Amino acid sequence: MMRREVGESRVGRLATVTAEGHPHVVPCCYALVGDVIYSAVDHKPKSTLALRRLANLRANPHASLVVDHYADDWSQLWWVRVDATARIVESGAEYEDALDALAAKYPQYAETRPEGAVIALDLTKWTAWPAL
């Protein structure tokens, strides 16, 4: 159930750690492929493609992604956190496969393929809270 909910959800919150040891959390689009979650540096407005999350992950590859669902009917609330070891993928077959998976999930990526790095989260632990 957790895997399906994470796979079908449209946005997650990626948590990394800065060099100073501070949490850094950003919303992101992602695709779940097997035991890896991919997220790309895309074309949405940014001041640079050298994002803080990439620097954070290069310095400390430990990361988490939280996916959740809110409803006014609180019996429908749930969240899933996946802990992972991250890699930065910038070219090659895995890079292209990740972009294909993202384009299959998000029409915006099919229209404008991301040109930045891809974050690959190799999942190590799943944690969930009801109503799953």
| Strand pairing class (118-129; 62-69) | unpaired
The total of other beta-carbon atoms located within 10 Å of residue 47's CB is 6
Confidence of residue 131 (pLDDT cuts 50, 70, 90): low
Mean pLDDT to the nearest integer, 45-53: 67
Cα gap 128→66, rounded to integer Å: 9
What pLDDT, in 10s, does the model give residues 5-20? Answer: 999 999 999 999 998 9
Write down all domains in the chain, each with its CATH number in brackets: 2-129 (2.30.110.10)
**Over 90: is that where the pLDDT of 42 sits?**
no
